[in-house]
Structure 1
Amino acid sequence: MKLKTVFLAAALALTAHAQAATEGKDYTVLAKPIPQAQADKIEVLEFFGYFCVHCYHLDPVILKHAKTFPRDTYLRTEHVVWQPEMLGLARVAAAVNASGLKYQANPAVFKAVYEQKINLADSNTFKQWAKAQKSFDSGKLIAAYDSANNQTLAKKMEELTNTYQISGTPTVIVGGKYEVKFNGDWNAGMKTVDELVAKIRAERGMKAPAPRVALKSKGASVAKSANR
């Protein structure tokens, strides 16, 4: 029985190794690393465009998956700017990020831009559209859009796009180092993201974070939000 157990453990180990993310197939190594926004954590960075059909399909998948990230891992999103006309949508993305409404507003923005063909790159059109929304705090989003640093944040997105030569969307980078290759399967890509997060953690010698504790009551959820 002991010998069988050894063989079984070895087989499982080989299977796990075979299923691990493979360089060239599941990810590539960036020639020029991208500095993280939070150096002491592990960043999952997505370069996206509200106009992009692939980003439109990836968005609900990556937002859902980001909720499962360990405590030392976070999602960062930057809108690409390949030409001046894209700065308008970058301003919308910057407002979404700054307002903390990514999970609430992003689905509505994608629907407006991609499905309904509403020109949210235009400032007046965006504000009129935002005021009519009921699925998120429109006043909070508009305030972030009108803030003094909104255009600066959009310009930084343009600089990032150019500096790191982002040529396609979505581009997802883990730890500022590894670019995920999705191969047509967004959910499989999330598995690769998780494996790269673990890889970055091991490379940096970071201690594994404590597992997230599921909240069992509304009161506990409120308490958690208050302590963030």
Structure 2
Amino acid sequence: MARAVPPAEPLPEELPRVLLWRWRRNPLRRRADLAQAWIATGLFLAVLAGIPTAMFLAGDTAYHHYDRTARHQTATRHTLPAVLVRDAPRHPEPGSYEAEKARYPVTVRFTDPHGRSRTARAYVRPSLPAGSIVRVWVDAGGEITDAPLTAEQVRNHSMGWALVAALTVPLIGATAYGYANHRLERHNLAQWDKAWARTAPHWTISP
């Protein structure tokens, strides 16, 4: 009768020793291994500290930029009445939520702030008949443009840049670690080549 195979030893207790082997003194540990451990620790701490700092700096800079842009747009853009030259296209699903949000480009006629009659393309609600009056935003030069940024849009743009900064910091840290690891591996290979050049003659059998 075959003997039962004893169960394998549990591994979880050994995992910390395996993961932290570069920190433990042992005959196989090289200076490059300890350097790699210090580099990994330093970069990890730098990333932890850098994420909130980068988020604050990026978000604050973006907020001031978009806030100035919104103020400038509010001061230089105005709404004017415009008349549809032709009917706006019909939405394929009238009365739906998509129809409420949909806007179609239609030629409109309006008088710019300088008193000149102009025609341009503006986005309007579907199914508006020709002759309907809509409000359009125009810039200082009389060109149709977008509405000024709202406070909510300024916040959203700022939060977006803060999120980009938060994602960029770990990427930079990972790139720096990969570069350092590559350099250390090349150093190790060079050291192995030198060691083998000294050891190889003792292993060579003369004919």
TM-score range, shorter chain: under 0.3
Q: TM-score, normalised by structure 1?
A: 0.25
Higher relative contact order (CA 8 A, sep 6+): 1
Q: TM-score, normalised by structure 2?
A: 0.26
The structure with the largest strand share of the pair is 2
